[in-house]
Structure 1
């Protein structure tokens, strides 16, 4: 048996990362040579001597003075490694030196962090393995992971890796210097987990997660460094397998330290160490099994402590303790199944929901359920508050009755009847009952409705109003069938009582019925109902009249009447501010409705302005974070997406989706709006795998809530079809889109979803065009066009898309003049759109370029391509697949023009983007010569 000898530098740096008390045991295991151990201990002592700090590079000099171990000299500035010129050293480690390096390409300068390894790859097999891992890492794309640009082997046989150059501080330094509170730290950590989970789904494990590999920029953006680098360097040759493992012991899982199998659970363990450090300031994986909260009272005050803001033990004790300990379980199978599950528990904790790490118990889940005051309990609370409100009104009415003799008998009877009804109902929810016997919100609604119908002492108007309130609660729970029964019964009772059309009671009943119709795909009926109510709204200043105007604005928008929709919604806001006051919750909520309507009408600048202000006021006034607030976040996300503010979009979707999930456990009818919008954003930014996962959840949610035969489900299905086409899978895309189209053809007209029907037809036309079925493609495109032309004021971008598809079909059939006419008309339409989306403009320009190519007008075609490429670079620079397609189209034009060198350069530039070949069109794959 041979004894392994580890390089001096690796031993020193590995020991330095440990607590001083842990170093002897580490050296006992890894440093059996007495002379080498003395050298390591001398280095550690020198490092601990604060009177003589070590500058960069001093470790090499000190090691050389102490003993024979010597590392290769650092390359000077100006040296070249592959295509890169070294600028300066950024850092040194036991296995590599990191340089700031640059590369000049066609006048553009690319700055990278270049990691140059200290050990070479000399055998063909070692270089093959290195190349294989490198290709996998280049494909890893995530906004929170510093991307690998390329790798290679220099003339000396030393491997190098060029990574995205990130300017920021370690996550522990960031939370300390920004003095972040506990919730902010958890949110930041959740972003880290989601990034790790995305890499795991790409079958890449980090293997060395630690604070120095998790940077946060000045803008608060998380960037993970060195993802998969340890794996990249571990399979180069047999000799390197005997070296020290490429990990930091202080953050390594037990199986990693013991040389066991490396899995995603290894990264979960490191995340647990990091989370413990973020919340306590200490590494809580000393093997004692102590809870993180127990560390807080015994802080050592070490310089690395990240705790500045005092964190109470009570805020960590319980759920956070359980989460960290689950992540740190010695048995990998007992840890979180994925980093995504860990992130999910953090999100659940932030939302006040039960976490999976906590031992299950009825009391625990009940306590969390009640503390949240959302979801089912919120419905119960809303229900009880509504009843108490009715009681308050009744008692007020009784007081007035005492003052007004002619009303005394009727109003007193109404008050007493309402009081008796409430008393009897609350007995059914008595706290004396065992928890598992207390009624659910649904059961309370059912019991209350039964009592409201049967109680002989109830005043008839009180009976109708109670049924209406119960119908609203059933609708908020997603139980539309019961809601419709209760609301219709209430309306009919009020009709028989002869309630005046201008009375608050009748307006409230009509609004409830209109909202139900609109939310169940009967927008036309809701529109007619509100239109009939309109003459009676001007003279009435109540909450119901404000709601009625806003609902009419929405139904007008669905009918394609943008002018009336905007006018009516503005009147609703003015009325709300007059009735309730500008800073009242009702006025602020009405303003968010107006902002959402502007977003639906594609008036994105106005929507952003309104929603930005009202969301800020909502937060400042600490109004309840409910589903209306979440919908406002979604619409603000859409507006900023269309305004090109891509970096500001994702946090809004994350917050809104997390809030919707916290409002109701399980499927929720309001959730899919955010999920589908987020999926569209992910698709456009070419994060296809993430988009697929989000759409899977949206479809599952809609099918559970609505079933398959519903327009909401169809919209999610159609969005999935568009994603599948973008991923070059037209056969699967066709199945998804046809399924959506079948539902929309049956329900779109009644529901006011004609534009969505036309969009599905256009998507299927794109699919048939990709399959070269030009006749069917032309028929579908022609079917979509009239709807977009009818709504050109708000659907101008979709009209341009339809025209562009029509032009592509015409060009495929050999009709270049018709194709040019369609492309030109599409660009003209876009000039009238407030915010012309690049995703519509670029295909029109690419179409014009292809038409010009067919006419041998090569220079004009290249001008169009220049404009298309510049537009994509300025609006969506991460869209590598789209950019690759444009560069390859340019190369074909250049080759046709006889500009062979330019064509070769365009192909080289496209290859450098390293887009997944499977996501390219067949023509582009041919141009790239990818089999």
Structure 2
């Protein structure tokens, strides 16, 4: 066979690269009206199919196969306990049906059997080999074999797991998986292949069509390796009782994915490393979208040329393949991987290049020894650890070049030897003399350089990072900074091994920059590592340790971990005191952080005293224009607001802004803080117009100065949106809520699902007010597509989903979701407060009482009045056992006592009234219910129902009927189910309806 095939061979090779269903259309077009030509090509294709794999295409994709010849069996036939439902795949020798097993269990399966007329000895032998290969394996990523047998006509079949999936390359592109996600999927494939190897089986045809990806019930991607039709035993395992002979010069496998040893016609010596090569080709395609050698080009040439390419030609590096693509193709490839073209090339260049090339080495002794070794190297790359793969050395490259160019290499070698001999003596004499002089100077310079290198590196990095931190970045996109930080973070320990002080200093800077990015958890890890390193070198009471304790306290404070924060800040203050540096500027930062903590804790006198002290010290130590003076003034203003000193806070904030203007200083993040704080003060005073101007200025500055995803920008956007909504400007408010939501989702570090959920919740509430139900449904479909998992991380989003379903009357769906969330997060009282009224609305009374029992056992002695009120009210909606009523009444008492004096205390009075009524204290119930009059509409209905029932129990029938009528009239004014939105008070709507129904039954029933 040569490399210039005639037209028949050319058409055959082109059609061979197409899917079976595409070949008919191709031949109709390519052959025109030449029936003889078409028949010759068709005969070659049929002969190829009979000689090749049992199945050339995936057998488990649920698509109707296109058969060129009718099979012996058809849909509706039975084979043993299996009813054939639909043909789903076909190869040259076999056909696959989706079938239904009817006994002993009912399930859908894939049934493979040999075609009529194709049951030759070699085909049956291959079929039995595949069946036995699959049967020996038990791995979650390999299709399972359930059964095997022969048809009444003597043709073998076997039954395997039915997989709903598509090729791994198609799945990755359709799902737009990033490079990291593709690598994680590839690792699973490696583990499956390793399992097969441990069972003594080589696949010998690793390619995308033999790796299907489906999804688990949890929505996770699951790759499945299929089609062991060309598998070969590598141990003493017998795959079949018959002899399987691979004819000389018969290619086993697919050319684009075939290993050099397969192409060399030495199949008797093929081992597990041939699958490593196939995995390397697969990884190449996952990274670049193409195979190392173009499949269509290979099929256009003759057998000898295919073998020569596979054996001798070295594929280009994956990054080089990407770089050489047409601009349009590269852009499309990058988009499929959620990347930019240049960034994709940078990601692949280097470690991934060498991992792929090591797996695809021509010399199999240089490949990874096992599939697990390949998977481990990929996992090292994902963890930013050092990989074992390395670019080939110069000697290896020279040896390969000499093999390909033997004659030229021999000539050059002779010339080289002559030149070497002529120069050797002269070079040795000269080099000895030079070396003697140079050695002394070299050793001296090395000693000096080694002493200075570490400190120079640390100093350089400190200055560089300080200059590009978000606070100094002037609005530039800091995503590249974050990527640099993350990569450097993994290499600090290795690069500064044996130098703990230098590592501690560098990690401190990293911690500060991470905190500036809003990446508080990573920042926390940095500071804890600093303290560990300083303790290791006996410096736990140094200035560095005091700074680390102080900043760690601030980072914990920003995560609302107040107790831990106070411990770190106090440790820092104790250190500053022992060091005699309490009035040094770094110690003042600790006092500033402590003042913020005291304000959040409500200890306002201490907070004000500390804030004034910090402002005094900063003005004493720092120049007037230093932003830290502005920050101290801002903190003092926030304390004054919390203490109710609104006018004084407003005056302070206005003075700070005016001073900044007078100095003509550039606006930065610190002045945005003042504008935001002043906006809040003005809003509290009802000065909405001025407040809006302040919020708008804060938003504008933070948009320019802060990295996307920073929580401070989200905070200002939400404040402005709330103000616009209150002013009735729903269009502007919706746009701001959307921006806040998208900004909270763009966090570059640890996700903050709570902040994201709050922005989403406010956005959805506004959209419901605007009656944009369809848009809300579309938003949920985008955020939570089918298969979106219910996990702890996603609980905030699922809570909003349950809230939406409940307030729009979809109680059954909301209840089912609520039950799952309570099971997942049983300590969240808000979830019980959602589920309890839903169970009543759906008539699940027994489940409701079981839930109340769980509530009363879990929330025994809460200190939060709101928590106590909610749990008590939930358990008192309907009459319960005496013990449960007493426990719920105790919670109601906590709500009333702990909530005394609060603006929301009348709501606690209703809960107390309900508790007294359930205990039979009717006069007390009337007394507490009277205090609820004139409050929110839902509470008035609920209190009216209690007044009606309590008066009736005291024989005050006229008053009872009057209260019932008034409560019923008030309920009629509330939103109805038909409106499609019960509003945010849907829980009280259900409670009001339930109590009103109970009152009607009591009063009207007795009247009859």
TM-score category, normalised to shorter length = 0.3 to 0.5
| Larger Rg over CA atoms | 2
Q: TM-score, normalised by structure 2?
A: 0.38
Q: TM-score, normalised by structure 1?
A: 0.41
